[in-house]
Amino acid sequence: MRIKNPINVIGGCIVGFIIGSLLLTEGNFIAGYMINSNILWLSKLIHTLSIGIAIVAFIFILKRFICIKSQKLIVYYLLSILISAAAVVASLYLFFMVAAKWIQAAALSDFFQSKLGIFLGYNSFFIFFIFLIAIFAGVFSFLTKRKVKYIQYISQEVKKIEKEGFGRTIKVIGNDELADLCVSINHMSEELLEKEKHEKELEEKKNELITNVSHDLRSPLTSIMGYVNLMKKDGIEDSEKFHEYIAVVDRRLQGLNVLINELFELTKLNGVDVKLDYENIDIIAMLNHLTDENAILYQQHGLILEKKIEQAEYYMDLDSEKIARAIQNLFDNARKYAKENTRITIDTSVKKNILYIKMTNQVKDKNIIQVENLFERFYKGDLSRSDTESSGLGLAIVNRIVELHGGVISANMVDDFITFEIRFEL
């Protein structure tokens, strides 16, 4: 079985061995005192207990080191230092085991009286010191080489992110602070890429908004100016034409007024300081009231409004004015784009504490409607934007009002029937 944290295991063995040895030495010292006091049975008991305590301490410390889930850098480098020091001690022990006999023989043969022997004798401390430093540095460098390379790799990848742009990620190795740093860098890189894309989309939408506003303002203004010039030219002598021109100018001005008011309303709804005037209201009663009002208007346009509202009441904390505005916009949208002499249905249902409000109508031309864009600002099914009755903001206002109330609105097209569905969770 592969050990996940070998450094922890080695460090645990070394620390456990040192502490166990200290406990065993202390126990043997006490046992020796008891022997001198002629209490042999107690001496044996203490010696046995000291062996057991040393073994338990070794196992406990090793287990604690193995259970460390994250090789934190400070632990990693401290253990590297400890292992390097242990390597130095082991090297000294091996050296003296191998060289002890040679040193004894060299002393007997008067080797240390020779020039080379005198040189070695005087410089033995420095030779040993350099040897020990070399052992320590070699082992420490070997143990920390992987971390150093990983730090260099992170530095190179950060420079690449700086040059190539956000979105690039760094390979995460291990589970220490360096790994956490890489995770944070990756998250930052991805988040900044998304932010960059979002800002680009916002810039494109802003440009599109300016273009659409300019077009929707220019068209009626051009028409108004044209008819005003005609009135200036023809005067008021031709009463019939004058009233015709006035009617067109009035209609265009009304359209401009609607556009400006809805644009102002949507801007306020998208503001950071928008506030809702909540009150506990019966939304079913509101739906019934708005349906009855619009049914009469629909009849004038050859449309039938069918109500399928089964709930007797349903109370929610809502901004009644804004919710009524949103639902009225849906009624207006259906009236403008429903096929002549067809039926518009509105129905409600409650499932698992979720209120569903649906409005369905048959459209005049399904090929010009892009369902995924219906809630975008200034979207019109009429791509030429010659429709003067619509500002293209009504559904965007509906979407924003529903969002502010924590609800969700969606649109679905089946054949040439479009359904708008609002979901409010109680």
Concatenate the DSSP letters of all residues of 251-297 into one string: HHHHHHHHHHHHHHHHHHHTSTT-----EEEEHHHHHHHHHHHHHHH
Q: Give the pLDDT score at 379.
A: 55
The verdict on 224 and 328 lying in the same domain is no
- Give the span between the Cα atoms of 154 and 211, in whole angstroms: 45
Tell me if 187 is assigned to some domain.
no
Give the CATH number, domain containing residue 322. 3.30.565.10
Query: Is 199 within a domain?
Result: no
Local confidence band at 4 (pLDDT 50, 70, 90 cut-offs): low
> Residue 79: which residues within 8 A CB-CB, separation 6 or more?
7, 8, 10, 11
Tokens standing for residue 89 = 């001690």
Domain boundary among 269, 292, 313: 269
In a domain? residue 104: yes
Q: CA-CA distance, 322 to 320, in Å (whole number)?
A: 6
Q: Do residues 159 and 16 both lie within one domain?
A: yes
The CA-based angle 75-82-29, given to 5 degrees, is 120
User: Do 248 and 145 fall into the same domain?
Assistant: no
Q: Which domain holds residue 421?
A: 279-425
18/141 same-domain check: yes
Round to whole Å and give the CA distance between 188 and 196.
12
pLDDT of 199 strictly over 60: yes
Which token pair is 366? Answer: 């399904």
Distance in angstroms (rounded) separating the CA atoms of residues 193 and 76: 34
Q: pLDDT tens digits, residue range 315-331?
A: 888 888 889 989 998 99
In a domain, 201, yes or no: no
Burial of residue 263, with CB atoms counted within 10 A of its CB: 0-12 exposed, 13-18 middle, 19 or more buried? buried
Q: Check whether 200 has a pLDDT greater than 60.
A: yes
In the 8-state DSSP scheme, what is residue 387?
A: -
Whether 40 and 142 share a structural domain: yes
Query: Which residues have a Cβ under 8 Å from the Cβ of 188 and sit 6 or more positions away?
Result: none
The pLDDT of residue 232 is 76
> Is residue 319 classed as helix, strand or coil in its secondary structure?
coil
Q: Using CA atoms, how far apart are residues 7 and 146, in angstroms rounded to an integer?
A: 12
Which of 247, 269, 291 terminates a domain? The answer is 269
Question: Is 405 in the same domain as 329?
Answer: yes
Indicate whether 243 and 118 sit together in one domain. no
Residue 393 and residue 259 in one domain: no
Same domain for 15 and 128: yes
Q: Residue 8 pLDDT more than 70?
A: no
366 and 412 in a common domain:
yes
In a domain, 356, yes or no: yes
Give the number of domains in the chain.
Answer: 3
Question: Hey, CA dihedral for 326, 328, 331, 336, is it positive or negative?
Answer: negative
Looking at the fold, whether 12 and 156 belong to one and the same domain comes out as yes
Please name the residue that has the structure tokens 């506003």.
213
416's tokens: 């040439």
Instruction: Answer whether residue 221 is part of any domain.
Output: yes
Let me know if residue 20 belongs to a domain. Answer: yes
pLDDT in tens, 134-150: 888 888 888 888 888 98
Any domain includes 200? no
- For residues 97 and 25, membership in a common domain is answered with yes
At which of 101, 130, 164 does a domain end? 164
The pLDDT score that the predictor gives to residue 360 is: 92
